[in-house]
Amino acid sequence: LFTVAQPAPEKPAEWNIVVDQDDNSELSQAHVIIEFRQSRSEYFPFALRQAQKQRGFAQLLDEDRHIVYRVPFRRNDMRRFWQLWQYVQSWSSTRVYCQGRELERWQIYPYSQYLR
């Protein structure tokens, strides 16, 4: 009679989440936040590179385990917001928040009262 040694059960992986204080402060000081997901658009790689250059950029997982890209903008960074918005505005996964409130697409235009 032979016995086969069973490997020791592995411990489940633990999540080690580290919050960068600079990113956290960028998020708290953000005037406008753009969130978007992967897109089939030919401009997605370019838009993602532009987003990654922005201070406070974060890559997150939502509750459905989809990657979400979050980009905060301060009031003095609105020029960069509009540049990124030109690429991501038509993507179905794009969301914009101003001072914590989600905006509809029709509310987002230059000099909009909703972006004040």
The pLDDT score that the predictor gives to residue 29 is 87
Give DSSP secondary structure letters for 79-116: HHHHHHHHHHTT-TT-EEEETTEEE-GGG-STT-GGG-
Say how many domains are in the chain: 1
- 5, 49, 58 from 65: Cα distances, Å: 36, 22, 15
In a domain, 25, yes or no: yes
In a domain, 81, yes or no: yes
In a domain, 102, yes or no: yes
In a domain, 10, yes or no: no
Lowest mean pLDDT among 7-21, 54-68, 86-100: 7-21
In a domain, 6, yes or no: no
> What is the Cα–Cα distance from 63 to 52, expressed in whole angstroms?
22
* Overall average pLDDT of the 9-15 stretch: 45
In a domain, 7, yes or no: no
| Residue 44 lies in domain | 21-115
The CATH number linked to 44 is 3.30.70
pTM of model > 0.85: no
* Overall average pLDDT of the 83-99 stretch: 96
| Position 4 pLDDT exceeds 60 | no
| Position 81 pLDDT exceeds 90 | yes
- The per-residue pLDDT for range 18-55, each reduced to its tens digit, is 334 455 677 788 999 999 999 999 999 999 999 999 99
Q: Residue 73: name the closest of 105, 34, 106, 112 by CA.
A: 34
